[in-house]
Each structure stands twice: as C-alpha cells, then as structure tokens.
Chain A
C-alpha cells in the first residue's frame, strides 16, 4: 500500500515538484475547475451530464453529513429527512398541490411574486410560485430550524443511542410525506414542480443548466465547509467529537455547538432538496428513504470522515459508479457474452447488485484504507533527532515576558463551604471546606480514592453537589455548566489527561481559548476583518503559551497529541488550560508519569506562574513538589478533610503519616529530628 502511495505521488507530483505547495494546489484547482466547466461541451451526452448533475447533489449532501458526522462526531442515520424537508418545501410552494382560497391576505405576497391568483372554474385560488433562487436560501433556513428541532431532544445521547433516534426521524419524515395526502399528494408524489428560470428562460429538461447550478452549489459549500473547519466553530466541533467532557471543561457550550452542527448540516441538505426536485420536477417519499441516508454515510466513509475534499470525491465516485459506470459495464459484458456465445454473461446485471458492490467497496476500504480516500488528518513529518531530544531545564519558564501578569483582587479567590457529594451510597466528599486565597497556592493531598478528583469535578461543574456552596470571587459556581465555570476564569487539567487526541498541539491550545473568542459561523465563513484579527491574535497567544515550554513543545506544534509522550501530553494540557486566560488554575497530578528531574522542572515552571500572580489549586502525590509550591496543604481521606496547614505541619501529622505518607516519609522526619 505504502509503495503504491509513493509511486502515485511520484508520478502525479514529480513534474511540479519544484513549485511551492500552495501554488501547486492553486494550479490543481484551476485545472480541475476548467475541466468541470468544460465537461458538458467535451462530453455532449445529456444522460451523462444528468448523472454528473445528480452526483453534484450527492456531493452537497455528503458535505452536509460530513459536518454532523465527520466534524462534530454525531452519528446521524436519518440525514435524508432534511433532504426531504427541503425537497417538499420547494415542491409544495412551486406546484399546484396546495391551493387555498384567495383572499386579501395574499395580495402583498402576489406583489412580491410569491403567489398568483388562478381560477379553475369556482372560487379564486392561490397558486404558490416560489422562485427556485429564493427557495435555495430560504430552504436552508427552514431545514436549519428542523435540524434544531430534531437535534434538541437527542443532544444528551451519544453514539449508538443517537444513531437509533436519528434513524427514527429519518423514517418519520417520509412516512409523514406519504400520509398527509392533501399537502404532499401521498405516495404518488408531487407533480408539476416548476423548473428554475433564469432571466426569463426556463431550465426545462436539459441537464446542462442543472449541472452548472449543482457545480456552483458544490463549490460554494466546499468553501463554506473549509472555512468552518478552520475556524473557532470547526475546532469546537472537533473538540466535541474527540472528548465532549474535556470540550465542555474548556469552555465549549455543548448544546449550542451540537445544535449548530445539526442546523448547518440540515441547511446543506435542505438546499440540495430544492435543487434535486427542481431538476426532477417531482418528489415522492421513496426518494428520501433509509437507503439514501445509508448511501450518504458510505460516501462519507469512503471519502474520509471529516475530510471535505474526501467526501466530495466519495460522493461523486459512488454516484457515477451507480448511474454511469455500472450500466456501461453491464452493456460491455453483455456484448462480450454475445460475441463469445455465452448466455450466462448476458444475464449479468451489475446495476441490480449496486448494494452488494457498495458493501464490497466498504469492506475493502476498512481493510486497506480505513481513513478514507483522502484522510482528514495529514501525515506529519518525523522529528529530527535534535528536535526529539530535550534536556531537563531548571529555573522555571523561559519567555515569560510575553505573558501578562495576573493582578488578583485581594481576599479569597475560591471558597468551598460544606460541600458534600454522594455517588449512590458512597460519600465521595463529606462537608469539605477549603479556601484558596487570591494569588496563593493550595495543595490537596490524600490517598487514592479519597475524593481529590471529585473535589475538582464538583468545582468545575462536572459533578453535582448534594450540599454546600462554592464561591469564586464571591459568585456561586454550583449549578453552572462546565463551560460557564471556565468562562468565570476557572481552568483545569485532568488526572488521566483528557486532550483531543487526533488534533495537533496548536489546535488543542487554540481550543483552550474558545471561551475568549467571539466569531460566529457567518464571520468565520466570510473571514470578516474582525474574525481575521481575532484568529491571528488567538494563534499568537497560543504560540506564546506553547513557547513557555521551549523545545519540549515548540518542535511538536503540528504533531497530533496522541503520538506525544505522557509528559508532553501533560504539558499540552497545562498549556491548553493557560490559553483560556484563567484566574485560577486547577492542576490534577501535573507531574504524574514524570521522572524526578522532569518533576522538578515542571514544579519550578508552575512556581514561575505563581510568581506572575496566578492562583493555583493543586492535587499532587509527590511531597517534594507540594512542599516546594504550596502555601497551604489540605489532606483528604475517604471524603473527609483530616488535616490542614502549612506543608511542614502536615507532614508531621500522625494521621497523615499513617493514612498516606508511609515509612519513607516517617524515616526522613526521624532523620531530620535526629540531626537537630
């Protein structure tokens, strides 16, 4: 496989190897566009142009589904429902199916050209005459609304459950279309849908104008998809796909961004629906059944989930295979059979076996190219020996001059009062009190399972408290969603490291800034000056933060984090939390998995953040780190606070020695006392 890839690359790329990659890309796009534009003239066969136009509509559908499944990771098995809604929207408002009696109410609509008064022997009736060009954008709005409507109840679901519920919606919509005869004409379908008109000329039944409209639609939505992917919105979707809990802890409003993915994906399908029925001039419930949803999913998987160019390629290939290549192949085999006098060959019909052939393609892809034809994640260059090699450095962070000082208001930053958390019968935290003064460092220690991480989870809104209050800068945190806690300036890391594994270091750190950025979908697609300035500033700040870790992270900014070492993943997680411009940083065992020298390096780096005025709450098992950093230590055991005090007080506490510290600590103490 690898050899084939290399061969392909060398043949395809070698003549242009001297060019800069961007110019090579631009040239490739230009050639592709020229070929596609000239296609109806080169290949003047109306049937084949029609196949290509159909392929365009599937490409748009695949692009929309890719936003929901590929970007946001929400498996949607009923995507064709939105296709149907867009189709029926245009079908109903541009045919003679629904004709209410005429009244004065319709006059303004008639002036806008949306309706006509007609008379078929009886009272005057309303005939809807929605123009195709107006229907395209309005269908996007209408289906986006349905996307939110269908998405809202499914938001709490993930994976298999979400798939089943969306499968249900996908079935319901065609069934409704079949049964509401008066609006949709039932199983017989809508007829007499208007063909689009441009400058007074109707498109009629020739395939060529539809081909160009389809091509424009695909180009537009590729552009929109790419812009969204590389924006704050796209990063938020991918964060949700990678780890929803971590995404919410990094300030991403899960409800809002999942609904946005559903709505934008639905809008793509709605526009395709308009295009598709305008071309066919009919709409029946069968056109939108489960087979369509599943075929779209195959297209996305074949092309490469999350890959914009990949899904377009997948859709076009499968559609052309089905409508163009398979019938031709059948014809050739039949001719061959006739020439050879083999009747068996003449009975083969590949078109009837389309589903089987799709299945085989899918199995072959899973075996040999799981990431699709054009994988979404780019291959990374290997690090040089020098870049891989990092020396332990002492003395805290370098490049601190680019980081603004924190100037916390005096008083207590965080006040935890009487917080109790129960999991069923287990009391994970029992009326725990804890105070972190502004600009201070407090450490929480205690045996495994004593409730330390639960404390972090309840502060950051990941678990609910049964009693108590948690105030940050005087305002209650309990009851807030994790993203709201982060917005208040409380950022955290996780004990078992929760990065976004398939994204690179820079992307992970950029996602940390999510809550501090404002760009919405429109600004992101249009690249407004405000959006461009914001993105540039965000990248600058991310680089400043990554730069703190020097050559531990700088050579690795383009590497996916799943390939990093444990210690570097911890560093990225701290960088991600710092990127959110926190007022207090909650570190859950930051030095786990580091050797003593690396531990010391990180401890000193944390200390240099503290010296800049950052307030820190720290869970740590390594006592030397705790003594080096913390002003106060709180000891938890089985959910109870058993001790609190300065580090040197706590390490002499008898209860702490027995429950937690062990004999080495006791021996060290005795040695110290003896020396004195």
Chain B
C-alpha cells in the first residue's frame, strides 16, 4: 500500500517553510506498534488534515505531538528544533496548543475562567485583553455567556469555548482532535467556518477529523493513516478525487 496513489511525498520540504515535522516516527504501546515509520510535514499557514479509520493511530499522532506519548524512535521537530523530549507544558509554551477530543472544558469554572486558563502559560497584560477581544469577536455568543459555568453549555457552545481557550494560549500551531464530534450539522458548519477564519488570520492548523468531507473541504493537504502507517498523502483536491478515499472515507461506495 505505501507508495501507491498520487502525491506521496518522498522528499522533505525546505525547512524554512516547515513548522512541524515528523521524521520516521515509531511509537509503541507495550508490544503494540501504533505508529510505523511515520513522516508528516506541516508547513507554516497550512491546514493539514489527518484522515483514517478508528484505531489507525490518529490519536497517537496527536499524543505524540503534544508529548503525552513519546516516540520510541524518530524525531519530531517544531520550528526546526527537536521537541520529542520536551514535556507537554513546554510544548504549549512554544506555541503548540491542542483542542482536545470531546472538548474537555473545566466544567465547574465559568467560560471566562476557562478562557483565562488558556492563557495560563503567558503573562497577563495588554496582550491578554487583545486576545480576549479577538476570541469574543470570533464568538459573540461566548461573550454573552462569559459568566456561565462551562458544564452547562451545549456541545456546540462548548466547542466554541474550547477553540477560544486554545486561541488564548497564542498558538502557532493548533492541533484539533475531532472538532465536529457529536455536533449538530449546523454547528459542524460553524466550527469549520471558524477554523478557516483562524487559519486566515495566520495560525497553522493540524486536524484529526472523521468527517472527511468537511475536513477535505477546508484543508490544504491531508495524510491518510491506516493501521499506523501513512498510506497516502496529497492536496485536498487530489485526495477528494482518489477512488480509494471516496470508497473508504467518504462512504461513496454503493451497496
């Protein structure tokens, strides 16, 4: 399977454009080989999406980027610096900020406090207020409800706060794990609009998403992961036309 299809990138891009890079990463859980010789290159200003079925290594990829799981071999570089030995908190400080699967807000804190927690690694000052304004202008509803406890919000509103909280950390790379999960169709559209807007404002986005149709509609490039291996990569347009993708991930095969 590897090496087939269009757009498999054999060469690495010039490092000046590269924000995050995985080179020959192997990750194990005990005996289980979760990532096999995985290479990703995420350029500055890109939206890159990671597709794949369940249990194929998407979450492990996220955990490896954030430092929750350490790769057994291989290197992960961010902005040209090897980060695979850094703790999660240091990675956040350097600008890699997650939006976690299932939101994971602090349910008994208010929305405002949740946003404050997003800026935890930074000094409070004029910049904090500017960031807060930016979040409130992206999500007017969040501003309306800033005193409400986060646990009382609906799933869609929680996702807005989760993205807002990530923005408060002043990210250079936002890693999103299934941003559309459990959301109504209307909210799914809104969330993807917001992701595109944040990217337009200059933040690089790496996104794991099951809703391949939506993901490919906003991503510049995508990787396809199967049982821990990258089997396909290319621009979103290329992948949308790929028959294997259409069948396995877009659900277009006829019964």
Instruction: Please give the residue numbers on chain A whose beta carbons come within 8 Å of chain B beta carbons, in ascending order.
Output: 379, 381-383, 385, 388-390, 392, 394-395, 445-450, 495-496, 563-568, 589, 592-600, 604, 621, 623, 659-665
In the complex, 18 of the A-B residue pairs with CB atoms within 8 angstroms, ordered by the A residue number, are A389-B227, A390-B53, A395-B255, A447-B187, A448-B182, A592-B182, A593-B178, A595-B51, A595-B210, A595-B211, A596-B210, A596-B211, A596-B251, A621-B188, A623-B185, A659-B186, A662-B184, A664-B189
Q: Which residue of A lies closest to B250 (CB)?
A: A596
Interchain residue pairs A-B with the least CB separation, the first 7: A449-B154, A596-B251, A565-B55, A382-B31, A567-B54, A448-B155, A565-B54
Q: Among residues 209 to 232 in chain B, which have CB atoms less than 8 Å away from a CB atom of chain A?
A: 210-213, 226-227
Q: Which residues, 146 to 201 on B, are CB-close (under 8 Å) to A?
A: 153-157, 178, 181-189
Q: Which residue of B lies closest to A622 (CB)?
A: B185
Q: Which residues of A contact B16 (CB under 8 A)?
A: none
For B29, B31, B189, B251, the residue with the greatest tally of chain A CB atoms inside 10 Å of its CB is B251
Q: Which residues of B contact A659 (CB under 8 A)?
A: 186
Q: Which residues of A contact B32 (CB under 8 A)?
A: 382-383, 388
Contact residues in A for B31 (Cβ distance below 8 Å): 381-382
Q: Is the CB of A621 within 8 A of B182?
A: yes
CA distance A605 to B250 in the complex (A): 18
Q: Identify A385's interface contact among B184, B227, B247, CB under 8 A.
A: B227
Docked pose: A652 CA to B22 CA in angstroms: 47
Residues of A within 8 A of B187 (CB): 447-448
Contact yes or no, A598 B102, CB < 8 A:
no
Min distance, Cβ A626 to any Cβ of chain B, angstroms:
11
B68 at the interface (CB under 8 A from A): no
Q: Which of A447, A593, A600, A663 contacts B210 (CB 8 A)?
A: A593
Q: What residues of chain A lie closer than 8 Å to B227, measured between beta carbons?
A: 385, 388-389
Q: Is the CB of B30 within 8 A of A392?
A: no
CA distance A101 to B183 in the complex (A): 78
Q: Which of A385, A390, A447, A564 contacts B156 (CB 8 A)?
A: A447
Q: How far is the CA of A392 from the CA of B52 in the complex (A)?
A: 11
Shortest beta-carbon distance from B249 to chain A in Å: 5
The CA-CA distance from A389 to B226 in the complex, in Å, is: 8
Residue pair B184, A394 in contact (C-beta under 8 Å) = no
Is B126's CB within 8 Å of the partner chain A? no
Instruction: Identify B248's interface contact among A567, A594, A597, CB under 8 A.
Output: A597
List the B residue with the shortest CB-CB distance to A447: B184
A448–B213 contact, CB under 8 A?
no
Residue in contact with A448 in the complex, picked from B33, B154, B249, CB distance below 8 Å: B154
Bound: A100/B186 CA distance, A = 81
Beta-carbon contact of B213 and A596 below 8 Å: yes
Whether B211 pairs with A661 at a CB distance below 8 angstroms is no
A565 to B247, CA, bound (A): 21
- Contact pattern, B 27-56, Cβ under 8 Å of A = 1, otherwise 0: 001111100000000000000000111110
Size class of the B contact interface (CB-based, 8 Å): 35 or more
**Given A382-B32, A449-B154, A567-B55, A597 contacting B247 (CB threshold 8 A):** yes
B153, B188, B212, B255: the one contacting A595 at CB < 8 Å is B212
Most buried by B among A388, A448, A449, A564: A448
CA distance A496 to B255 in the complex (A): 30
Q: Are B250 and A597 within 8 A (Cβ)?
A: yes
B54 touches A446 (CB 8 A): no
Most buried by A among B51, B210, B226, B255: B210
Residue of A nearest to B187 (CB): A448
Bound-state Cα–Cα, A631 to B102, Å: 30
Given A392-B248, A395-B255, A595-B51, A447 and B182 contact (CB-CB distance below 8 Å): no
Is B182 a contact partner of A597 (Cβ separation < 8 A)? Answer: no
A598 contacts B255, C-beta separation under 8 Å: no
User: Which residues of B are found within 8 Å of A383, using beta-carbon distances?
Assistant: 32
A568 touches B157 (CB 8 A): no
- A495's partner among B52, B178, B182 (CB-CB below 8 A) is B182
**Interfacial chain B residues near A382, Cβ < 8 Å:** 30-32
**Residues from chain A with Cβ under 8 Å of B29 in the complex:** 563
In the bound complex, how far is the Cα of B250 from the Cα of A595, in angstroms? 8
Q: Which A residue sits closest to B185, measured CB to CB?
A: A662
| Residues in A neighbouring B154, C-beta threshold 8 A | 447-450
Asked, given contacts A382-B30, A596-B251, whether A568 binds B153 with beta carbons under 8 Å apart, the answer is no
With A385-B227, A621-B182, A665-B185: A594-B153 Cβ-Cβ less than 8 Å = no
Q: Which B residues lie within 8 Å of A597 (CB)?
A: 53, 247-251, 253
Which residues of chain A are near B181, meaning CB under 8 Å? 592-593
Which residues of chain B are near A594, meaning CB under 8 Å? Answer: 54, 210
| Given A596-B213, A604-B255, A663-B189, also A448-B250 (CB < 8 A) | no
B252 to chain A, nearest CB (A): 8
A388:B55 contact, CB within 8 angstroms: yes
Bound Cα distance from A597 to B210, whole angstroms: 10
User: Are B249 and A664 interface neighbours, CB within 8 A?
Assistant: no
Give every chain B residue within 8 A of A568 (Cβ-Cβ).
54-55
Q: Are B189 and A662 in contact (CB under 8 A)?
A: yes
Query: What's the Cα separation between A662 and B187 when bound, in Å?
Result: 8
> Is A392 touching B53 in the complex (CB atoms < 8 A)?
yes
B156 partner residues in chain A, CB cutoff 8 A: 447-449
Nearest chain B CB to A575 CB, angstrom units: 16
Given contacts A448-B157, A595-B211, A598-B53, contact A660 B250 (CB under 8 A): no
By beta carbon, the residue of chain A nearest B229 is A385
Measured CB to CB, the nearest residue on chain A to B227 is A389
Given contacts A381-B31, A382-B31, A495-B182, contact A449 B210 (CB under 8 A): no
Which residues on the B side are within 8 Å of A381 (C-beta)? 31
Chain A residues in 8 Å Cβ range of B247? 597
Q: Are B55 and A595 touching (Cβ within 8 A)? A: no
Least Cβ distance of A145 to chain B in Å?
A: 41
Q: Which residues of A contact B51 (CB under 8 A)?
A: 595
Task: Tell me which residues from 117 to 162 in chain B have a Cβ below 8 Å from any Cβ of chain A.
Answer: 153-157
* Additional A-B contacts beyond A389-B227, A448-B156 (19; CB < 8 A): A385-B33, A389-B226, A394-B253, A448-B184, A448-B187, A449-B154, A449-B155, A449-B156, A568-B55, A593-B210, A595-B51, A595-B54, A595-B212, A596-B250, A596-B251, A598-B210, A600-B251, A661-B185, A665-B185
Contact of A596 among B52, B189, B212 (CB under 8 A): B212
- The complex places the Cα of A490 from the Cα of B139 at a distance, in Å, of 40
A621–B210 contact, CB under 8 A?
A: no
| A453 CB to nearest chain B CB (Å) | 10
Shortest Cβ gap from A161 to chain B (Å) = 18
Please give the distance in Å from B216's CB to the nearest CB on chain A: 11
CA gap between A663 and B184 in the complex, in Å: 12
- Considering the chains assembled together, what is the distance between the CA atoms of A242 and B247 in angstroms? 39
Chain B residues in 8 Å Cβ range of A599 = 251
Are A598 and B185 closer than 8 Å at their CB atoms? Answer: no
Q: A447-B187, A595-B51 are in contact. Are A496 and B102 (CB under 8 A)?
A: yes
State how many angstroms separate the Cβ of A515 from the closest Cβ of chain B. Answer: 29
Residues of B within 8 A of A563 (CB): 29
Query: Complex: how many Å from CA A613 to CA B99?
Result: 42
User: CA of A429 to CA of B181 in the docked complex: distance in angstroms?
Assistant: 24
Contact B249 A662 (CB under 8 A): no
